[in-house]
A and B are shown apart, each in its own frame.
Chain A
Amino acid sequence: MKNDSTNVRVLSCALIAVALLAGCGGKKAPIPPPPGPIGGNNNNASGGSSNLKPVVASFTAEPSSVERGQSAVLRWSVSSATDVAIDHGIGTVQNTGTSRLTPTDTITYTLTANGSGGTTTATATITVTGPPPPPPPTDNRINRGTGTLDRRVQDDLHDVLFDYDSNNIRDDARNVLIADAEAIRRIFADFPTASINVEGHCDERGSAEYNLGLGDRRATSVRDYLVQLGVPADKLKTISYGKERPTCTESDESCWQRNRRAHFSTGQ
């Protein structure tokens, strides 16, 4: 229903425009014929008039803007034409028709309609856009800025992962820590009296006792790194849990890696 009324409106506008143009430009302008049925074949209507210029009732792209990879439909309706062609490889077409297209870039199609009274052209443009960029991940986290302190510490601060029997800050952990430092600054801005625990954890394989010492090193490495990034040292407390508080209990590398971590929790 909505599309029909839109088409009627587009058609009327086009007719008025054509009528005005014809009124201004042509000396021998004849009285235009009554419009044919919408979307119908106008050959009969134009057949009687031997020297009429073709009328492009409509030439549209729907939708006129697509994301790359999506398709759009060209739709046209021409009357009083002997032949109709569209460029960019579409070629000769019927007076009324549609064509589904998937252009890779923004493109403007030109429709050329020839009749006994002359040639009429119209254009339709399909604008091709890239997909919208995702929001930057760090912004997504630190801009959240809502919720309780516990919620914020839990949601906004990401675990820092380690290699086996190591407390070295890995390259992938540096980016995590930069984001964590920023998130911690925002949390402290919203909760000025808060403090945060840096928990050191280990996977299940090393002995519990050695892992307690190792977990302490991991927590300390992370705290030192955050302090370098400007987080106040007196608001970060390190606690080792060794392998006593695993986040998962499967005996495989994916779980071991998740457990070799520094984790953040709300301090007292």
Chain B
Amino acid sequence: MTRKTVFIAILFVIVLCSVAVNGQQGRITDKIIGTGGKPAIAAPNFRASGGAQPFMDAFNSTLYSDLENSGLFDMKPKSVYPLNNPQQPSDLRPEDNHMGYALPDWGGAPVNASHLVFGYAAAANGAFALYGNVYDTRQRIESAQLFSQRYAGSLDQAGAIRVAHEFANDIIQKFGGAATLVGSRIYFVSNRGSKPGDSEIWAMDWDGGNAKQLTHLNNMALYPGVSPDGSRVAFTSWSKGTPRIMMVNTETGRLLPFYNQEASLNAFANFTPDGKQIYYSSTAAGLAQIFQADLNGQDFKRVSRRNAIDVEPKVNPKNPNIIYFVSGPGAQQIYSMTAEGLDVQRVTNGEGEASNPSWSPDGQFIAFSWTRGYAKGDWNVFVMDVTTHEYSQLTHSEGRNENPVWAPDGRHIVFASTRGQRGQNYQIYTMLADGTHVTRLTQQGNNRYPVWGTK
């Protein structure tokens, strides 16, 4: 009788908890991405005359997908647009004549856009010149202009794409989107062109373009971490036998001096928010423990003092006294501690195995990998509010999904996934931090361990 009552009580609590968690899951990503009252944007295709015309498909698709992938807007489908659209502000007519030249043609049914993005391109002085405008459809013409801006790029496809990114970014910023992704770079590990078993550190633009090999060590290089200003990448290399930390200048590709303390393993360097120090794992004291050092590897000190394997130290970007890391004993979980290694607490709830914590730029959330609900090794990307420990699952076992890292805009996440890949290959993807707008960035080779730098 008593046992039964206890059982029912436990069941009740479990149901309550799961209701609470499920009920809150939606809210976490809403907190990150925002919801409701999104600006509704109509962006009819831009046209061009002459030499700029061949690049307009690339321009239009880039502009539309940038706006859509920002998650900031309710993008209105092009299929419901009027037959015509203004190309310059002087084309606008005050009367609602349903021809597409009046703002109410866009603000009313069936488009129902709150804002109209329009303009055109032309070849001017050998450059791709773009004249872009954003107007509020609910205002009179005189007061409807949100902004109008001229852009210029090289007169080729790359130039058109670049200009589309810049224009989209300006629109995003006008609507309160956080820091820009334009100019940000993703650093990652690739085996393209390497001997079997070897890999190098690579860099590419935030959209997957302009990929470039950064290191040429002809060995195994893994686990990059990028400095807050994007000027350095620290990584782990086997070029001297055991795993050691190396540092490379992201602009020149030159290796920077770094002192590795005597240990069978020094790895997973992660920069502090001020960019002046790194945290890393070292076996200098036996088990892998968290250490701290300056950018040259000097002046090191042990931080964690635990009887467990401590890896992946990640410093909160807003509070350098909060370090998250991954450890046992038992199944690996995410833990927190102070910069002195004190007040160790488990962050994840003990289910499954958890790893790869990455801080959102505002320090309120982590993205991480978790096997919760799946077999060992079936990793998925989750986000968690670190104050409430509410979490939300962003990927759902489409292959293995690992190493999520937050973008500088606080709205996107880059990660590595085996989805759609034969064998063990990973490719790099970005998505909005609510799991939508998944975009594949790499195609060739095995590409893993992405991190997102401001440049």
Provide the bound-state CA to CA distance between A150 and B197, in Å: 19
A-facing residues in B237-282 (Cβ within 8 Å)? 238, 241-243, 264-265, 267-268, 281
B265 close to A209 (CB less than 8 A): no
Main secondary structure on B side of the interface with A: loop
A213 close to B424 (CB less than 8 A): no
Residue from the list B243, B327, B331 in contact with A240, Cβ < 8 A: B243
- Residues from chain B with a CB closer than 8 A to the CB of A214 are 309
Per-residue contact bits, chain B 362-392, to A (CB 8 Å; 1 contact, 0 not): 0000000100000011010000000000000
- Residues from chain B with a CB closer than 8 A to the CB of A220 are 264, 283, 286
Residue from the list A212, A241, A244 in contact with B311, Cβ < 8 A: A212
- Residues from chain A with a CB closer than 8 A to the CB of B223 are 208-209
B18 vs chain A, min Cβ distance (A): 26
B401 vs chain A, min Cβ distance (A): 12
Chain B interface, number of residues (Cβ within 8 angstroms) = 38
A213 close to B353 (CB less than 8 A): no
A204 close to B264 (CB less than 8 A): no
Using A209-B311, A239-B242 as known contacts, say yes or no to A245 and B197 having CB atoms under 8 A apart: yes
Query: Nearest residue in A to B240 (C-beta to C-beta)?
Result: A268
Residue from the list B288, B376, B379 in contact with A213, Cβ < 8 A: B288
Asked if A191 lies at the interface with its beta carbon under 8 angstroms from chain B, I say no
In this complex, the member of B243, B327, B331 whose beta carbon has the largest number of chain A beta carbons within 10 angstroms is B243
Provide the bound-state CA to CA distance between A217 and B267, in Å: 15
- Residues from chain B with a CB closer than 8 A to the CB of A209 are 223, 267-268, 281, 311-312, 326, 355-356
B268 close to A249 (CB less than 8 A): no
Query: Nearest residue in A to B281 (C-beta to C-beta)?
Result: A213
Asked if B117 lies at the interface with its beta carbon under 8 angstroms from chain A, I say no
B310 close to A244 (CB less than 8 A): no
Chain A interface, number of residues (Cβ within 8 angstroms) = 28
B356 close to A207 (CB less than 8 A): yes
Residue from the list B220, B222, B265, B355 in contact with A216, Cβ < 8 A: B265
A196 vs chain B, min Cβ distance (A): 13
Provide the bound-state CA to CA distance between A208 and B236, in Å: 12
Per-residue contact bits, chain A 219-234, to B (CB 8 Å; 1 contact, 0 not): 1100000000000000
- Residues from chain A with a CB closer than 8 A to the CB of B197 are 245
Residue from the list A197, A206, A217, A240 in contact with B353, Cβ < 8 A: A206
Residue from the list A197, A237, A244, A251 in contact with B220, Cβ < 8 A: A244
Kindly list the 8 A-B residue pairs having the minimum CB-CB distance in the complex, ordered from nearest: A205-B377, A207-B355, A213-B288, A213-B309, A205-B376, A209-B311, A210-B332, A238-B264
Q: List 21 A-B contacts (CB under 8 A).
A: A197-B241, A206-B353, A207-B369, A208-B402, A209-B268, A210-B326, A212-B236, A212-B265, A212-B268, A213-B283, A213-B310, A213-B311, A214-B309, A216-B283, A217-B309, A219-B264, A220-B286, A238-B242, A239-B241, A244-B222, A251-B377
Chain A positions within 8 Å of B, measured between CB atoms, are 164-165, 197, 203-210, 212-214, 216-217, 219-220, 237-241, 244-245, 249, 251, 268
